[in-house]
């Protein structure tokens, strides 16, 4: 049901393509699942490399930007 734009869902785009609106409950569930997934990724990286959660989150974010630029031929 959820298509992704890069690494994050674009809720308006998904709803427009399906030509139907999501209920608040569906949006809340999708957001909750996405937040849990993001939390898990940060925790794993922080524990694996013995760094703070903040450092892990920044590292992951930078890595994703670099990858997006590479895929677009920018870097």
Q: How far apart are CA 17 and CA 12, in angstroms?
A: 9
pTM: predicted TM-score of the whole model, two decimal places: 0.72
Residue 4 confidence (pLDDT): 46
Q: 6-47: per-residue pLDDT in tens?
A: 455 577 888 888 888 888 998 899 889 999 999 999 999 999
Q: In this structure, what token pair is assigned to residue 69?
A: 């630029």
> Would you list the DSSP string of 1-68?
---EETTEE-HHHHHHHHTSPPPHHHHHHHHHHHHHHHHHHHHHHHHHHT--HHHHHHHHHHHHHHHH
Which residue is associated with the tokens 């870097």?
75
């Amino acid at each position: 049901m959820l298509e992704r734009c890069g690494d994050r869902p674009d809720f308006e785009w998904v709803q427009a393509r399906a030509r139907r609106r999501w209920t608040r409950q569906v949006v809340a569930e999708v957001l909750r699942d996405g937040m849990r997934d993001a939390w898990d990724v940060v925790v794993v990286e922080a524990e694996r490399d013995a760094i703070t959660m903040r450092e892990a989150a920044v590292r992951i974010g930078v890595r994703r930007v670099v990858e997006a630029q590479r895929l677009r031929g920018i870097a």
